[in-house]
Structure 1
């Protein structure tokens, strides 16, 4: 094992990151003043009297998300316009001065309670940029204000799984730009919600780099520490009126963040896994003229396969409308997603197979790959190339193979292929690179009695927590 390899495998996730990896698929809820002004970016001058959802039902939101198999939800508690969806003690620009429930409403509380009711985790987005508040740009005063609001959200709404910050930083009402006290924000979160991951402009979860659902072919969890610096995130974040930003793709350099080659000269490495955020519609907030522009099931499932199925998590935005309901078209698409996933991954036949391997550590037997529990398989020390075979008594029609590594021992697999034995001989049905938290290998259905998984490169003896073979 060379020195670089030794450094790479020493980087492992924190306990909070491991819990986050298990979620895989969760939702953004963009709702606020922009919903009622038919806008994506407000200016902080909006009138709270305009905020009046007459049929708001957070149970409808969360039950719709659950139908898609979504496991958690993040609410935009305050967007760049500064309007707060909870009755904050620190500003008058909030739901308490709106017609909603005659100023007695608290949408953050309602959503948190609905998440608890339906078994979803709850998180929040709090925009550091505030176009409304006069303190923005007076850095010490605004940082105090922001920490006060952050504390309200961290202490008043139960367990928080994620605090989501973007890197947006512009001018406030006084024409000045703010200097964010990121380290203070992080300290408050760690003190009050130690299990919450801090995402995007934060140390726990990395933004994939675009808002269109484009994913890297090889997404690594171990990357250069510099990617987590807030200034780096801000530099690459969306700027106001940047219409082309959402469809942004990668340059060649951006495509590789974690290979041995990419990291060979990096002195400081961290576990910084990727999140893919995109909206079910063209916009992040609801717009009536986008009711017929909900992404197709095929489009959304392609994103799912490449994100959840490519060692990243998927944050899918679902924007409620002016009524305070998720629109019927979005509800239908969420139901379609749930039904597709359930059908595609309902019939795992791994347990029916006879499994053999070219290498097996006595303490971590091969049988462990048959379930998604915490047990796992590991090859013998020093074995970086391994072959696993799965043989069935009769022919099976196979369309998916799902692989999962034991992330607590770092991310190890660098290249693999899958061979199916057919009537016409061996056929390579999939060729891949990284595995990580979950790799969904999708291919044209093949009839076979034998599947061979060849791990042809790894950073040290590979691990597999799960190998799921699914029939068509």
Structure 2
């Protein structure tokens, strides 16, 4: 069924805004390995002797993040929980005498610190690529492991699928979707099948300035092969990127590439500020802790973000006939304008123009300072330091609605 309006879960997801991605697993302990390189990584090397997922959560909360995602099984096939479907897991490692469970530690820490809980899973793995399983056997294996994750760890908020490596394998999508939706009906799914959230299309953290939520997939598209005919969906997007320049997993060699606070603030504006979610990868080290340099950068980023939006200017605003009028309580220097569209009935704003009434001039003189094409969940607009007494936002829309904006703020 087509749907061009968000579900309640999608509206909630957009409010999460900031997320953390934790790439952690067997590859953490084997420096220099790359996706699909075929080099052996024996389970005996997995030994996070100081694993502290609580430290991860404290660090991301300091950065203002509200949700977190753990790599449960990456392309190498190593399971971060004691799965019954493979010998290549934490149960075959010496860590905690083979009785450890990273997924348990992670999900418990998420709940202890009030962080939404997400699990990453790569359907493709080295064994599948090597032809060790038939197509049917691989789907059974996949469903078996996903069932463990969705039944053994309480409510999971978000399931994140990585499509890399699945090219050429035809999954039994209808069966897979039915299992997931039956086990956890409130689950949000990223990528691949029957998804609620889509990838923005790059791994640099940036959304396009004219982002639109509604997507139409042709009949037979791999995202909805279990449905007949074209499919239209309202789909929020997520912008993933690495805190360090190149590596998703921990490396001893790239601490000097940690992104600066100004760069992170720019990525925030290019993701959240364009209506999408911000997902930063932070790689725990071989102790099972976040490196101190990474932790400090998260804290600095959070401090800067809070400082930037701590003191909105006093104003009153109203919306009539596709025009928003904002009056400052005192003429002030305005640097940043934040607009939030009411998306409950879908995205309607197709263009908008921002004008200001100069604070030094009485009367109706207005100056146009900005023209853009979309607002969405949140639009952050940097203005050229305007001394203003009023602002006016003129909207062009695609459909009539009782109101178009739910919040306007100036800083």
One fold, TM greater than 0.5?
yes
Q: What is the CA–CA distance in structure 1 between the aligned matches of 2:22 and 2:14, rounded to whole Å? A: 20
Q: Paired residue for 2:222, among 211, 219, 230?
A: 230
Q: What is the CA–CA distance in structure 1 between the aligned matches of 2:308 and 2:220, rounded to whole Å? A: 35
Corresponding residue of 1:120? 115
Deviation (angstroms), 1:68 = 0.8
Q: Paired residue for 2:180, among 185, 189, 193?
A: 189
Q: How many residues align?
A: 399
- SS of match in other structure, 1:394: strand
Deviation (angstroms), 1:16 = 2.2
CA contact (8 A) 1:417 1:431 kept: yes
Deviation (angstroms), 1:330 = 1.1
Corresponding residue of 2:125? 130
Q: 1:230 to 1:297 in 2, by over 3 A?
A: farther
Corresponding residue of 2:366? 426
Corresponding residue of 1:40? 34
1:54-453 equivalences in 2 (<5 Å) = 54-132=49-127, 136-169=132-165, 178-202=169-193, 203-226=195-218, 229-230=221-222, 268-281=231-244, 282-349=246-313, 352-359=314-321, 386-422=322-358, 423=360, 426-453=366-393
Q: 1:158 to 1:44 in 2, by over 3 A?
A: farther
Deviation (angstroms), 1:102 = 1.6
Deviation (angstroms), 1:268 = 4.2
Question: 5+ unaligned residues in a row in structure 2: which ranges?
Answer: none
Deviation (angstroms), 1:470 = 2.9
Hey, which of these two has a bigger chunk of helix by percent? 1
CA contact (8 A) 1:13 1:271 kept: yes
Q: CA RMSD in A?
A: 2.5
- SS of match in other structure, 1:159: coil
What is the CA deviation profile of residues 30-52 of structure 1, one whole-angstrom value per residue up to 9, with x for unaligned ones?
A: 01111111223253732001111
Question: 5+ unaligned residues in a row in structure 1: which ranges?
Answer: 1-7, 172-176, 234-265, 360-385
CA contact (8 A) 1:276 1:312 kept: yes
Q: 1:135 to 1:463 in 2, by over 3 A?
A: farther
What is the CA deviation profile of residues 132-160 of structure 1, one whole-angstrom value per residue up to 9, with x for unaligned ones?
A: 36775401111111111100100111211
Q: 1:431 to 1:61 in 2, by over 3 A?
A: same
Q: What is the CA–CA distance in structure 2 between the aligned matches of 1:21 and 1:183, rounded to whole Å? A: 27
- SS of match in other structure, 2:127: coil
Q: What is the CA–CA distance in structure 1 between the aligned matches of 2:248 and 2:35, rounded to whole Å? A: 10
- SS of match in other structure, 2:71: strand
Deviation (angstroms), 1:289 = 0.8
CA contact (8 A) 1:170 1:178 kept: yes
TM-score scaled by length of structure 2? 0.90
Is residue 31 from structure 1 mapped to residue 24 from structure 2 by the alignment? Answer: yes
TM-score scaled by length of structure 1? 0.79
What is the CA deviation profile of residues 203-252 of structure 1, one whole-angstrom value per residue up to 9, with x for unaligned ones?
A: 2111111112232111111111249943799xxxxxxxxxxxxxxxxxxx
Q: Which runs of 4+ in 1 moved over 6 A?
A: none
CA contact (8 A) 1:345 1:470 kept: no
What is the CA deviation profile of residues 357-386 of structure 1, one whole-angstrom value per residue up to 9, with x for unaligned ones?
A: 443xxxxxxxxxxxxxxxxxxxxxxxxxx2
Q: 1:399 to 1:121 in 2, by over 3 A?
A: same
Q: What is the CA–CA distance in structure 2 between the aligned matches of 1:341 and 1:311, rounded to whole Å? A: 17
- SS of match in other structure, 2:366: strand
Deviation (angstroms), 1:180 = 2.0
Is residue 470 from structure 1 mapped to residue 410 from structure 2 by the alignment? Answer: yes
